[in-house]
Amino acid sequence: MKPTQPGKPIQPAPNLYLIGFRCTGKTSVGKTLAQILGRPFTDADRALEEHACATVARIVARDGWSVFRKMEKEVLARLAGMDGQIVATGGGVVIDLQNRAVLKQSGTTVWLRASAETILSRMGADAQTGSLRPALTDKGLEEEVRDTLARRKPLYAEAADLTVDTDGKTIETVCNLVLAELRNVE
């Protein structure tokens, strides 16, 4: 896929990070942007799973969220040391103050934002939600999404250089919006 908007060449900071809550499109958009820009793509959660030889769900079930967050921090630090990556981060990477600083220092960060309704709809439509996305709280899914999203919004906003809404948009449209935003930054 090629960007549909003409304009000056895009030369973002060394890495391009995609942040946002679960099911906002970070991995899908990241893979497509990597193809468009001819850059390597890394899904930080998948990199963590490969390093740990276990799924996120298994790590959380076995060791708890605190161990997972420590591993997430280590993976982000490693990825930040590489140049030219498109990185889809885990949804909670912004919880940690040092992670937010690493994002700011090593690249351009794009917040892919979606409403709670969109997130819940996408989670319901994804057959892998249960295996890929362990519960964040002991609340029901809708309450968990709404509460966690509300708590994280200011953290996403703080970490983000750019924000793109993904509600009701195709991957191609979101990519074009990201590319347009990147051009405007330069």
Over 117-182, what HEC string results?
HHHHHHHHHCCCHHHHCCCCCCCCHHHHHHHHHHHHHHHHHHHCCEEEECCCCCHHHHHHHHHHHH
Q: Which helix (H) or strand (E) holds 88?
A: strand 86-88
Of 42, 23, 13, the closest CA to residue 161 belongs to: 13
Bridge partners, residue 42, by sequence? 87
Is 9 exposed, middle or buried (CB count within 10 Å of its CB: 0-12, 13-18, 19+)? exposed
Q: Is 20 left (phi over 0), alpha (psi -120 to 50) or beta?
A: left
Bridge partners, residue 16, by sequence? 86, 108
pTM (two decimals)? 0.87
Confidence label for 6 from pLDDT (cuts 50, 70 and 90): very low
Determine the Cα–Cα distance for residues 108 and 18; give it in Å rounded to an integer: 9
Domains and CATH numbers, the chain: 21-185 (3.40.50.300)
pLDDT tens sequence across 8-52: 444 445 899 999 998 899 999 999 999 999 999 999 999 999 999
pLDDT tens sequence across 70-101: 999 999 999 999 989 999 999 999 999 999 99
Determine the Cα–Cα distance for residues 84 and 183; give it in Å rounded to an integer: 17
The letter for the amino acid at 7 is G
